[in-house]
A and B are shown apart, each in its own frame.
Chain A
Amino acid sequence: MYSGYLGVDVGSVSINLIVMDDDNQVIEKLYLRTEGKPILMLKHGLNLLHKRLPAGFKILSVGVTGSGRNLASLMLGADVVKNEITAHGVAAITFVPDVKTVLEIGGQDSKIIIIRDGVIVDFAMNTVCAAGTGSFLDRQASRLNVPIEEFGIKALKSTTPVRIAGRCAVFAESDMIHKQQLGYNEEDIINGLCEALVRNFINNLGKGKEIIEPIVFQGGVAANVGIKRAFEKLLEKEIYIPKNFDVMGAIGVAILAKEHYEKTGHTSFKGFDVADINYKTKSFECGGCENICEVVQFIADDKVVARWGDRCGKWSNMSKDGVEAKEGEKKAMA
């Protein structure tokens, strides 16, 4: 067991790294808070992971996912760069082969994935609103002064249902405060919040979708037993939570990375040493036309590795000469 596959999920709230063996078993797993510093935390995570793995451990290939996947891909030299829907779907199918529905709630995103015969056939993600996501719970927990880890356990102690408006996080908050003032007890209010979130999720994402068992619930929020029970109550169906529910996205891309390795026998992984490289991003406004695009330059040890954010493609397409665009050049390109 001296080789394996690395899967990395760079999300808005957490960065997850996992190393998996040939039998899809997780050897090491790391769950770190992003804290708005994806590059720094990813480097930190790589260092930690490297120390934990046995000496001489070989990474056969690497997959990245999450909203920071492109950044992570540049840093690591990833073989597979995939969106979160595919990653979560693949992981669910691998561990629950006959899965029909995947519910995933993360920090800023929530998704429902419909699977039939082992293929994703439909999905939905929350749109402009974050009411049905983990940050909604985080916010209310801090308002109630309850640590988020205890949130679910408290909800289970509820005896009397208290209804809280869940359409919008702002409505929910004022509704919750009013109920507090009327003297409802904390457990019942917390349970009401869990049910509000689940109602919002099903109404928004489940609209017009057939939610059939087996149902797999993954993502950080699956740790919350209150939410699990609320789903079971509303859907009147059993909900299954996989062992590594919190890192399923990372597992999904690791599986895809394994497939890649089996097909090609090759990896572009740059090694754990990348943690020592000095990465930074610099952005500037291109003055080439009235679009005024925000162009981001990704710099590794003073060399520009990539550029993106431009609409016309002149920056992203520019030969990766490794030279940072100087003020004058930006004008000259105009």
Chain B
Amino acid sequence: MKITFPHMGNTYIAAKAFFEGLGMDVVIPKPCNKSTLEIGTKCSPESACLPLKVNLGNYLDCIERGADTVILSGSCGPCRFGYYGIVQKEILKDMGYDIDFIIIDPLQDSLKRFLQPIKKLFTGHSLAKIYKVGRAAFQVVKEIDELEYMTFKIRPREKRKYETDTVYADFKREVLKVTGPYEILDVIRKYKQKLLSIDIHRGLNPLKIGIVGEIYTIIEPYVNLNVEQKLGNMGVEVDRSLSISRWIDDNVTRRFFRPGHRENEVERAAKPYIPLCVGGHGRECVGHTLLYSRKGYDGIIQILPFGCMPEIVAESVLPTIRKDTGIPIMTLVVDELTGETGYNTRLEAFVDMILRKKERSKSKCTVDI
């Protein structure tokens, strides 16, 4: 069994840690690039959402290098993602590839149904070992998110431009050279130190923008055209509302270990606008927008793939939130476009608008005083 999985931000590092820790054979897809998109688009239905196409691009790259099993998380929310595994398997079958799909659904009502599909994966490994490696891999997920979120804070404050980008690129190269969760953790920690030693403007108080929207598009940098990096290099501190570690916390830990604890802070915040699950992360998008505005963020950017139903529901609620809270919100729709000019213009215009507004209210204040 040779395992592969689709890309989604830095998830591949944690997956690599886990499967290598168990001594399994893993094929890591190449970072998403033009050819991933091209291959994926060619074999997908035209009207399918963008993540499905990029995923297929990832699989085909790995199948060429011998992968025969795809691991994918499932979803029980009413969103097309819930059918990805099944549809992708069929598409690959039509293309002549007999690929095994192991779909890990979030734990819902029955433990048996949760464990059934993954049993195959773990045959021959002791529970104790799975637990031990699983914990280490979860630590990797957490620390890698920490490292990425550090870049969000350091990038707008760095004294030498692009230093953060350079360190981060070096990290990505080096982490692929080591094996297993413990070696990976060492690399992550080493690069956290390197990031901390970047010379920064300490007193600086940059604009703060929160990124909300569909989980895959906001986490996978190729698909969102590196929005965090772009904003960071414009001098904006960003925060991304969803990350893999938060997702695991919500969908595995919370359901598995604290089943009684259902509603969280985000869902509570969203309640006056969207009181129930509308699929995907529609409700979370609204909840996070409100939380960011309460925390004093200067603006919100929502990103979604073209045609994403849950995010369209959220998008239609956002103008009301803008009216109620006064926080500027911009929605960006991504599709197969790779021309970045229009995208950059919108980001620049949004940042510029917030800056000018701030300047104006500052000068007004001094007049009032």
Q: Is B325 an interface residue (CB 8 A)?
A: no
Whether B353 contacts A123 by the Cβ 8 Å rule is yes
- 12 CB contacts below 8 A, A to B, read A67-B342, A83-B352, A84-B345, A122-B328, A125-B342, A208-B319, A290-B30, A292-B35, A312-B165, A313-B165, A314-B169, A316-B162
- B34 to A121, Cβ gap below 8 A? no
Binding site of B, secondary structure by majority: helix, strand, loop or mixed? helix
Q: How many A residues have CB within 8 A of the partner chain?
A: 30
Once the chains bind, are B34 and A292 in contact (CB under 8 Å)? yes
Q: What residues on A are CB-neighbors of B316 within 8 Å?
A: 207-208
Distance between Cα atoms of A317 and B162 in the complex (Å): 7
- A312 B166 Cβ-Cβ under 8 A: yes
Check: A64 CB closer than 8 A to any chain B CB. no
Shortest Cβ gap from A316 to chain B (Å): 7
User: Are A83 and B345 CB-contacts (below 8 A) given A128-B306, A207-B319, A290-B30?
Assistant: yes
Q: Is B31 an interface residue (CB 8 A)?
A: yes
Select from chain A the residue with minimum beta-carbon distance to B36.
A290
1/0 contact string of B303-329 vs chain A (CB within 8 Å): 000100000000010111010000010
- Return chain A residues, CB-CB under 8 Å to B166: 312-314, 317
- Nearest CB to that of B33 among chain A residues? A292
B346 with A125: CB separation less than 8 A? yes
Are B173 and A289 in contact, CB atoms less than 8 angstroms apart?
yes
Q: Is B356 an interface residue (CB 8 A)?
A: yes
Residue of B nearest to A116 (CB): B357
| B132 part of interface (Cβ distance < 8 Å) | no
A315–B165 alpha-carbon span in the complex (Å): 12
Chain B residue nearest in CB terms to A293: B33
Additional A-B contact list (14), CB under 8 Å, known A125-B342, A289-B169, A290-B33: A67-B341, A67-B342, A67-B345, A83-B345, A83-B349, A86-B356, A119-B356, A119-B357, A123-B350, A127-B333, A128-B306, A208-B318, A312-B168, A312-B169
The 7 closest A-B pairs by CB, nearest first: A208-B319, A313-B162, A85-B349, A312-B169, A313-B165, A83-B349, A83-B348
Q: Which of A203-219 contact B (CB under 8 A)?
A: 207-209
Chain B residue at minimal CB-CB distance from A308: B340
B-side contacts of A316, CB under 8 Å: 162
Kindly list chain B residues whose C-beta atoms are within 8 Å of the C-beta of A121: 328, 353, 357
Give the complex CA separation of A313 and B165 in angstroms.
Answer: 7
B229 interface neighbour in A82, A108, A292, A311, Cβ under 8 Å:
A311
Q: Does residue A291 face the partner (Cβ distance < 8 Å to B)?
A: yes
Give the docked Cα–Cα distance between A119 and B222 (Å).
34
Question: What is the CA–CA distance of A125 and B322 in the complex, to the nearest angstrom?
Answer: 17
Q: Write out, one digit per residue, whether chain A residues 67-100 have a CB within 8 A of any chain B CB (1) or not (0).
A: 1000000000000001111100000000000000
Interface membership of B337, Cβ < 8 A: yes
A279 CA / B53 CA spacing, docked (Å): 39
Within the complex, the shortest CB–CB distance from B344 to chain A, in Å, comes to: 8
CA distance A311 to B224 in the complex (A): 13
Q: What residues make up the interface of A, taking CB atoms closer than 8 Å to B?
A: 67, 82-86, 108-109, 118-123, 125, 127-128, 207-209, 289-292, 311-314, 316-317
- Residue-wise, chain B 115-142 has the 8 Å CB interface mask toward A (1 for contact) of 0000000000000000000000000000
A289 touches B345 (CB 8 A): no
Does B65 touch A at the CB level, under 8 Å? no
CA distance A82 to B356 in the complex (A): 13
Q: Shortest Cβ distance from B236 into chain A, in angstroms?
A: 14
Task: Note all chain B residues with C-beta closer than 8 A to A128.
Answer: 306, 333, 335, 337
Find chain B residues with CB under 8 A from A67 CB: 341-342, 345
> A3–B320 Cα gap in the complex (Å)?
48
B179 within 8 A of A: no
Q: How far is the CA of A115 from the CA of B11 in the complex (A)?
A: 42
In the assembled complex, the CB of B32 is this many whole angstroms from the nearest CB of chain A, namely: 9
Contacts of B222 in A (CB 8 A): 291
A85–B352 contact, CB under 8 A? yes
Which A residues are in CB contact (< 8 Å) with B306?
Answer: 127-128
Known: A120-B357, A289-B169, A313-B165. A86 touches B352 (CB 8 A): yes
Contact of B194 with A by CB under 8 A: no
- B189 within 8 Å of A (CB atoms): no
- Chain A residue nearest to B168 (CB atoms) is A312
Please give, as numbers and ranges, the residues of chain B lying within 8 Å of A82 by CB-CB distance.
Answer: 352
How distant is A124 from chain B, measured CB to nearest CB, in Å? 8
Chain B residues near A123: list those with CB within 8 A: 349-350, 353
Are A122 and B322 also in contact (CB < 8 A) when A83-B349, A85-B353, A312-B169 are?
yes
The answer to whether A109 and B342 touch across the interface, beta carbons within 8 angstroms, is yes
Q: In the complex, how many angstroms separate the beta carbon of B299 from the nearest chain A beta carbon?
A: 11
- Report Cα–Cα, A251/B161, bound state, in Å: 32
B360 at the interface (CB under 8 A from A): yes
Q: Considering the chains assembled together, what is the distance between the CA atoms of A143 and B356 in angstroms?
A: 43
In the complex, what distance in Å separates the CA atom of A125 from the CA atom of B344? 12
- A119 contacts which of B333, B337, B342, B360 (Cβ < 8 Å)? B360
Cβ contacts under 8 Å, A118 to chain B: 360
Contacts of B162 in A (CB 8 A): 312-314, 316-317
